[in-house]
Structure 1
Amino acid sequence: MTFQQNFTAVGDSLAWSAIVALIPILYFFWALAIKKMKGYIAGITTFLIALVLAIVAFKVPVGTAIMSGTQGAVYGLLPIGWIIIASVFLYNMTVKTGHFDIIRHSVLSITEDRRIQALLIAFSFGAFLEGAAGFGAPVAISAALLVGLGFNPLYAAGLCLIANTAPVAFGAIGVPITAMEGITGIPATEISKMVGRQLPFLSVFVPFFLVFIMVGFKKALEVMPAILVSGVSFAITQYLTSNFLGPELPDILSALVSLFALAIFMKFWQPKNIYRFSAEQEMAATAAAKSKGTHDVHYTGGQIFKAWSPFIILTAFISLWGTPTVKLALTGHYEGTNAILKIVNSIGHALTFMPEVPLLHNKVLNAAGDPIAAVYKLELLGAAGTAILLAAIVTKFIFKMSWKDFFITFGHTLNEIKYPLITICSVVAFAYVANVAGMTTTLGMVLAKTGKLFPFFSPVLGWLGVFITGSDTSANVLFAKLQQVTASSVGMDPVLALAANSSGGVTGKMISPQSIAVACAAVGLAGRESELLRFTVKHSIFLLFIICCITFLQSTVLTWMIP
């Protein structure tokens, strides 16, 4: 039995269908932001509401709807949940062995100012991880690092989510951009150029915005030189790489340039007033004494390198895992002649499972009447979480950690994030049900009817898609064709519309239920997802508005910016 997606299923009306499709989203916001439910309860109930509406209102067969939810839940575990488990585990290893104290000291030796630390770790280091891996790893690792440095967990999670705005469109070696080429026929290089003429404006602004959120306008001005070095170096590199190299390297190169530029700059400049959080100010005498003691402690270069080695190894593994040729081998699809990669390919093939989803595979027909494939994508070796776990195993030997402590720490990690994992699986299940039922596309079609104002609302499609799916890649796959067709019909350049979808999507990442759950899991805020959502939602809408204005101006006044 097949199911034909119907975007006017409710009363043969697009408007009524869109209103019904909005119900799970509005409920989720209400559950977290107003009712203050625990994340896993909000996630499970949102999924159940979406399931009922898909079956009753959008006429999805019961079995098909349920199995689409299982497909989403499995994806929530692998790769997303697996990344969180491995990331938090690696961080916990550094804490248990005492090496995080050395990491903290090394960061403090660059600067004790919390504002600069946020720029270094949340913005630059987080962007590097986004470029190399994506899928939650940047927020999980950088937020855990900030908490270890003494940041308030809610602040750490919120700042890392907001900082993650700048690099998301080029995340995971440019996958969000390249994913649109096959769907639209427009070269990924052209889309990359256009995104690279939008996001640099945001990349310059985000470092200032981060510090402004932390301390207000006046104290942000005190570190404006550092903010400019961080943001401008990132934005210039992002523009140059996206326009002249393609979509694969903008994040990695921009992040490295920004990170090293700011670290070197801090050797020659320090703010007049060192900023610490209010809780630290209350213990001024103790903090001062501790600060003095920090300078008295001396760690050798070897000790510092050893303490940072887990994250250096992590970076190497994740970068390797993200390399296109290696990724093919890790998932069993390599067809080259390299002997080592052929061995890896054999292992990857044995550890890659793609079983069809019962009652769902090729049972759902899209608007064109074509069947939609549905498989459980279980790439055990190729998953980024496996790369992080291998980094943890190497770290175990470097730190000379016993196998007993290794497994005890892993067990504690699993116990620590069990509820966030439930949250992640349930919200991804909701996203899959919404996609199969056609609820997400229905909402997109309503926005596409804005006519001459479509250039302004075009980024909202991407924002909506990322909020629901948790992925800029998924949002681009979901709405790319709709953006292209609608843009052509209203006289907007399709390349600009596709770029707007991706650029708008990055601003929705910080409020995506998946991202919220990942961030809370990383910093030990399980059950407090509602607080984090309330922290990020206003910033998400504000940054979306900026992208909407940029897109509208590029479509009407600044048309010379379109490649």
Structure 2
Amino acid sequence: MFTQDYTAVGGSLGWSALIAVIPIIYFIWALMIKKMKGYIAGLTTLLVALVLAVVAFKMPVGTAIMSATQGGIYGLLPIGWIIITSVFLYNVTVRTGQFDIIRHSVLSITEDRRIQSLLVAFSFGAFLEGAAGFGAPVAISAALLVGLGFNPLYAAGLCMIANTAPVAFGAIGIPITAMEGPTGIPAIEISKMVGRQLPFLSVCIPFLLVWIMVGFKKTMEVLPAILVSGISFAVTQYLTSNFLGPELPDVLSALVSLVALALFMKIWKPKTIYRFKDEKVEEEKDLSYSGAKIFKAWSPFIILTIFISIWGIPKIKLALTGHYEGANSILLAVNKLGDWLTFMPHVPFVHNQVLNGVTQAPIEAYYKLEVLGAAGTAILLAAIVTKFIFNVRWKDWFSIFGQTANEIKFPLLTICAVVGYAYVVNAAGMTTTLGLVLAKTGALFPFFSPVLGWIGVFITGSDTSANVLFAKLQQVTATSVGMDPVLALAANSSGGVTGKMISPQSIAVAAAAVGLMGRESELLRFTFKYSIILLLFVCILTFLQSNVLSFMIP
């Protein structure tokens, strides 16, 4: 048995926190300063975490190693599985020539690269985040931008920054609903508060994306389009989160933003069309494709959207994982298959062998292998349907799949390593140690509350995981310092979304999607400062909402 000790180093919370933060500092140093390849940085960060967990936090060697294996397997399924299938589906459209038609259809709306980034990275990416989450939005939208002609680094970086606005309501609102259980606070109340924070970011993100691409002067040339994109998204996000709940803000906001911008581009054009330096004007812009051909070319992503939306419906999700207990005969049949394809073996030396340092309750640990219920399986099914629509031979279909898997083997290793690191530091109590230090900030806690979410998402790569990890701590600390607990929980989620773009897992996913293997350091340097700026914005907003803007709290 191992009991988490948050003052393991010299009996001091401060010294323990200094040790606990070392893996984070090391990872940033390894990528940004030493410019290590992603998988080397990931593996060495995991090694540093294992050593500190065993030596400094007195975690048994076997428990530490098995925690790493638990994370590594989670890195393969569901995260790695999503990346393989997403990139595979994109590669099928490229190999069959259908992506040329997709590219033309986007160009028919606008040839301006600035507007294309808003349509694909911001709006379409947000839609995928709302329907699927778990890396699929960045992987698919970044691949689409590369196919349109964007530099891979910019495509990945822009999509990661764009993914800030929708993350809190991703995967049908799971990050918000996950906080209801440990805190007892209704998800709708948390949703309302998050919906009174993130829209401020959502308005700014489109401007930030274009400004990063082209600078201030050229950004102002398309300000009307930026405002249409951002305001339509933000207003819809506020209304849906406050009056419908946490399930639909992303999906509806993305659709409204996408349609509004596309329609706006029919009545407004920028004075100059922005293209990348040395980019050739393609003659294909004069080609015309029938509506049927355009629909066929886009069908893989339409089918993908349908499948992942179905996979996100609560009752279906339960059936796909073998947990449905209703009376619907179709879902019962799916439930049998889901139960057969779901494996939940205990993690040796970890399951019920680690005791929470506060409650002393044993922590359950499983290898969570939900084969049918994984979002990647929904994407694979979309690829199977696409095979028949595009009349691809099975031999070629499997050949493309094999080539895709081979292309991203190193990013998969990176993902497994960094998720393994996250599981080790969580099981050792190192993440909670950092959270407890921030909880000691007293009257300044409203300012530092979002930082907890930022740290949680950086480590775990998931706003959902960060919310589950720190929700109770946020609630208890907020109550003790006179801060509204609903505001603290919202701050955890809103602060967390700003950490998504620099999370090791997110960087590995984005690098895999656009072929930047070995160049993860460039991607981290691209996004890091924007993560800090946006986090600071959320910190200031939360502090003001706890004081002079307290009327904004539901």
TM-score range, shorter chain: over 0.9
SS at match of 2:178: helix
The alpha carbon displacement at 1:431 in A equals 0.3
Q: Aligned partners of 2:210 and 2:84: how far apart in 1?
A: 29
1:124 and 2:115 are equivalent in the alignment? no
Describe the superposition over 1:215-266 as per-residue Cα deviations: whole angstroms up to 9, x where unpaired: 1111111101110110000001100000000000000000011011111111
Q: Is 2:471 the counterpart of 1:472?
A: no
1:55-112 alpha-carbon deviations (Å, 9 max, x no partner) = 0100001111110000000000000000000000000000000000000000000000
Structure 1 alignment gaps of length 5 or more = 281-286
Aligned to 1:463: 454
Distance of 1:545 and 1:82 partners within structure 2: 34
1:375 aligns with 2:375: no
Name the structure 2 match of 1:441: 432
* Distance in 2 between residues matched to 1:337 and 1:187, nearest whole Å: 27
Aligned counterparts of 1:237 and 1:178: Cα–Cα separation in 2: 19
Q: Which residue of 2 aligns with 1:336?
A: 326
CA offsets 1:376-431 (integer angstroms, 9 cap, x no match): 00000000000000000000000000011101100100010000000000000000
Aligned mates of 2:413, 2:285 — CA distance in 1:
43
1:407 corresponding residue in structure 2: 398
Task: Output aligned runs, 1:211-250, within 5 Å.
Answer: 211-250=210-249
TM-score normalised to structure 2 length: 0.99
CA distance in 2, matches of 1:3, 1:536: 37
- Equivalent residue of 1:526, what SS? coil
Deviation track 1:128-150 (CA, whole Å, cap 9, x = no partner) reads 00000100000000000000000
- Counterpart for residue 491 of structure 1: 482
Deviation digits for residues 112-160 of structure 1, max 9, x if unmatched? 0000000000000000000001000000000000000000000000000
Return the alpha-carbon distance in structure 1 between the equivalents of residues 162 and 539 of structure 2.
19
| CA offset digits 1:144-177 (Å, max 9, x no partner) | 0000000000000000000000000000000000
Q: C-alpha displacement at 1:278, in angstroms?
A: 1.6
Q: Across the two proteins, how many residue pairs are aligned to each other?
A: 553
Per-residue Cα deviation, 1:515-534 (whole angstroms, up to 9, x for no partner) = 00000000000110000000
Quote the residue 1:284 is aligned against: none
State the 1:298 CA deviation.
Answer: 1.1
Instruction: State the shift of 1:339 in Å.
Output: 1.4
Q: SS where residue 278 of structure 1 aligns?
A: coil
Shift of 1:340: 1.1
Secondary structure, aligned partner of 1:51: helix
Match of 1:30 in 2: 29
Partner Cα separation in structure 2 for residue 407 and residue 194 of structure 1: 47
Amino acid of the structure 2 residue aligned with 1:209: L
Residue of 295, 301, 325 corresponding to 2:315: 325
Distance 2:256 2:72 in 1: 37
1:389 to 380, 387, 397: 380
Query: Whole-Å Cα distance in 1 between the matches of residues 286 and 197 of structure 2?
Result: 46
Distance 1:115 1:295 in 2: 17
Task: Say whether residues 1:138 and 2:137 are aligned partners.
Answer: yes
- 1-side partners of 2:276 and 2:417: how far apart? 35
Matching residue of 2:342: 352
**Corresponding position of 1:283:** none
Q: Secondary structure at the match of 2:489?
A: helix
In structure 2, the partner of 1:296 is 286
1:294 CA drift (Å): 2.5
Q: Does 1:179 align with 2:178?
A: yes
Q: Which moved more, 1:172-181 or 1:330-339?
A: 330-339
| 1:79-94 aligned within 5 A | 79-94=78-93
Aligned counterparts of 1:335 and 1:481: Cα–Cα separation in 2: 29
Q: What amino acid is aligned across from residue 9 of structure 1 in structure 2?
A: A
Instruction: State the one-letter code of the partner of 1:354.
Output: M
Equivalents in 1 of 2:38, 2:177: separation in Å? 33
Letter in 1 for 2:514: V
Q: Distance in 2 between matches of 1:279 and 1:387?
A: 39
Note the alpha carbon deviations across 1:184-203, whole angstroms, 9 max, x for none: 01110000000000000000
SS in 1 for 2:21: helix
> Given residue 3 of structure 1, which amino acid in structure 2 is its aligned partner?
F
Per the TM alignment, residue 295 of structure 1 is displaced from its structure 2 partner at its CA by 3.3
SS in 2 for 1:556: coil
What secondary structure does 1:495 align onto? helix
* Structure-1 separation of matches of 2:396 and 2:271: 44
- State how far apart, in whole Å, the 1-side matches of 2:276 and 2:543 are: 39
Quick one: percent identity of the two aligned structures?
A: 79
1:310 matched to which residue of 2? 300
* TM-score (norm. length: structure 1): 0.98
CA RMSD of aligned residues (A): 0.6
Unaligned runs of 5+ in 2: none
Report Cα offsets for 1:441-476 as digits up to 9, x if no partner.
Answer: 001111111111110110000000000000000000
